[in-house]
A = this chain, B = another copy of it.
Amino acid sequence: IVKYLSFLIHCRIMRPDDANIAGNVHGGTILKMIEEAGAIISTRHCNSQSGEPCVAALARVERTDFLSPMCIGDVANVSAEITYTSKHSVEVQVNVLSENILTGAKRMTNRATLWYVPLSLKNVDKVLEVPPIQYAWKELEEEGRKRYEEQKLERLVTKERNGDIIFPVINPEPYTVGCSQSSLIHLVGPSDCTLHGFVHGGVTMKLMDEVAGIVAARHCKTNVVTASVDAINFHEKIKKGCVITISGRMTFTSNKSMEIEVFVDADPFVDEPKERYRAVSAFFTYVSLSKEGKPLPVPQLVVESEDEKRRFEDGKGRYLQTKAKRQVQMQPLTQQ
């Protein structure tokens, strides 16, 4: 029974609306599937002991890389597993494989880690306790506790960076930040929401990826795909009936990648006399692909203001840090 509760497999065929014109499935579609699987398995787990019914709400998604493309007609195989539980949160590991149904070939697309918090169904402000899971080895619990402490720290840090607003630019120069920045509005409807009447984290991430994709395509005018998404913290809930504005601007370009910062602002203008607020923000990395699917060089971003220069340097820092981490991970074990 415990095994059944903590594991979940799911598959779905990718449809034309899940993909861009080149047939590559949007990163946002995949993020939405990942979050759905995570929400289902953690909600099921948190309700597995009799007690107050609850819904698991997404608190954080760790950095995710898109390892290989998925195409229209492929079957996405999604598996989710609960890998750690603290008193009030659940860590879920979700893996996505793309399966070419005509050849049977499967490839790993994503390996994502998500954190959920169980909120009482009757009182959304009440966080409930999470039933503990059994670990196969004691080490697994130790490592989980380490990951839990790390993400807790990072969540505190990002709470600070929240003030920025994106203003429209009249007649921007080519390859400047103003030239590619974009925004999208969305009226939150019932099918976007959980049983609590708050937006699913996956819906928000899909819209964020949509804006990031428009920014990237406007900058390099080619077929673009999501390469990775930095860790995202979901500090503020967004209620049904809100209008959300999702804005994106380019912050950094390397030779073959673009970093786009995306903000989500919620405007609860009808339901409550509350101010517009920043609900989420994140960094998306995009690459530009040739018709054969090879990465193309990216036109360099032209930074103008002091703020833009500072953000470019920050982006460069994140880029180099990720690169360094990846090289460490690829070194043979003997050198560690």
Does A309 make an interface contact (CB < 8 A)?
A: no
**1/0 contact string of A2-24 vs chain B (CB within 8 Å):** 00000011111101110011000
CB distance from A36 to the nearest CB of B (A): 6
Cβ–Cβ contact A17 & B16, under 8 A? yes
Does A43 make an interface contact (CB < 8 A)?
A: yes
> Which residue in B11, B73, B75, B243 is a CB contact (below 8 Å) of A44?
B243
Cβ–Cβ contact A102 & B221, under 8 A? yes
Cβ–Cβ contact B185 & A13, under 8 A? no
Does A183 make an interface contact (CB < 8 A)?
A: yes
How many monomers of this protein are in the complex? 3
Cβ–Cβ contact A102 & B13, under 8 A? no
Interface residues on A, range: 35 or more
> Which residue in B20, B73, B218, B269 is a CB contact (below 8 Å) of A47?
B269
Cβ–Cβ contact A183 & B9, under 8 A? yes
Cα A269 to Cα B222 in complex, Å, equals: 46
- Flag the segment in A49-57, A60-68, A142-150, A227-235 that touches B: A49-57
> Which residue in B8, B182, B270, B271 is a CB contact (below 8 Å) of A11?
B182
Chain A contact residues: over half helix, strand or loop, or mixed?
A: mixed
> Which residue in B44, B55, B270 is a CB contact (below 8 Å) of A267?
B44
Give the nearest-CB partner of A7 in chain B. Answer: B168
Cβ–Cβ contact A50 & B16, under 8 A? no
Q: Which residues of A contact B (CB under 8 A)?
A: 8-13, 15-17, 20-21, 36-37, 39-40, 43-44, 47-48, 50, 53-55, 72-73, 75, 99, 101-104, 121, 168, 182-185, 187, 189-191, 195, 210, 213-214, 217-218, 221-222, 241, 243, 267, 269-271, 273
